Structure 1
Amino acid sequence: MEYSPPDLSGTVALVAGATRGAGRGIAVALGATGATVWCTGRSTAGRPSEYGRPETIEETAELVTAAGGRGIPVVCDHLDPAQVAALVAHIDAESHRLDVLVNDVWGGETLFQWDVPLWEHDLDAGLRLLRLGVETHLVTSAHALPLLVRRPGGLVVEMTDGTTAYNEHTFRVNAFYDLAKWSVLRLAFAQAHDLRPHGATAVALTPGWLRSEMMLEHYGVTEENWREGTAVEPHFCISESPAFVGRAVAALAADPDRARWSGRSTSSGELARRYGFPDVDGTQPDAWRYVVEVQDAGRPAGDAGYR
């Protein structure tokens, strides 16, 4: 299946948390549409975030520009209201508008413990996870939405893990993680309520099993040979590239009827079916249907019928 990005020339987007993973994939996919993309995060050249990862926002911005858009990197700690206010003022002064806000700040991968009861989990780490995964989104929206609603048609995408339909019936990892991901789902719903009178849309979006830089390293593979990771975890067969969820955001931004999604949660797989875009390998992985019907059901791994 071939992919031709929509034309979003003139669109101005802010991808908060664009350093790596889904954020980088979204920023680059928006760049491929011709959009101007403000790429923010804490990891900058010579000064990585607490992750200690090599990726930087400057690299992301360069990838956006190489894809055909204009990438603008800005170092920003989205827990600091003053820094976010300065960021939005910068966008206003230079771009004079904001059409798309993607709240993808997370930073919690090293802060949670799997299947640990609340009272046994490290409290400081759990609270830090909630601040990074939820408070950052609130701070960013509080400062960015006044610019976004100046013009009708704005789009807010709240990035999370899992849809409402899945998460409301499934306990996710531990109490802190579960609360963080559920809170972001509800935040999209709440923002949709506030934005609707202004002609703007808010959507919660989840990728499937994402082949982020960290995940590829975990399985000792690259994007080119990722299927070898199924030798370690067979269900990795349903994984998707960061470009897939990026194309999902681009499709939403290009849809003149995107208000139909307002207040809803959806996935990259569902939007691929609705809008017809593929992942980089030409397939359309339907990860959340796979998780329910195969992984959680205890069936043998295999992506036949789910791509």
Structure 2
Amino acid sequence: MAAVGDNCRAPGLQPGGRVRLWDGTEVPYVEMRPAKASAGGGPLLVFGHGLTDRKEDDAPALQRALDMLGEMDPPPPASCVPATVVYDARGHGESSGWECCGPEQFHWRSLAADMLQVGSALQGPTAAGRDGVLLGGFSMGANSALWAALICPRVVRGLVLLSCTTAWELRSGRRAKLLENAEKKRLEDPARGELLLGAARADLPPKEELRSISVPALIVSARDDPVHPAAMAEQLAELLPDSRLVLVDSKAELHNAFSHALVSWLCERFVAPAAAGA
């Protein structure tokens, strides 16, 4: 895989480029930085979006968190401020080269491999980069990050999970409807139908396997979201041995709560230990 520079730009985002994956698919990415701090040498945070979304959709909440870090007094060490990247997953946004490759490429397990490749292509040569990357996402992106931590645990430094979608028994009750909707969509839009079909077939690894994920994890969800139920977040918090669970009552509160929870978690897990060791 390789990172290919370009001048793509979106409101509030820095110039980015494209990462060429192993199968030739190219996914565009953009970088995010605190408004009042220089880009530090902190761990890379690769954040994936939800199904049918785009890389820009979660940017406001992430940017708010980065700006809050940049406004801290005293400021955190530059080595603790994450270099944050959002990207279009295959089949989404401005990604290309994935067409006609079948629905299995959209299983969360396959998307996890893509996420790991994005992280590998973009992490820097600093000590923070050598220590691994932070992976996270919203919904589909969050579940992909969980798979990635299981597939390649040595390169994942932590997980940031926003509104994990259903899995296991919670998903089995929805799968028939998801498959039906995907097949209907294939008739009018084959490419979009394959995307939905791959997502409908997706699931997380068995629960016992997730217990082996030892890295710190932040889990944030809303109690009134039936697509991303709080019960799912609670199950994950019980399974992941080093997790912090943040539940809010309403989806309307979610992004603001996520920004604050992310800053608190980053400060506790990365800023404070670095300051203590200085």
Report the TM-score, using the length of structure 1 for normalisation: 0.34
**Comparing both structures, which one devotes a greater share of its residues to strand?**
2
Report the TM-score, using the length of structure 2 for normalisation: 0.36
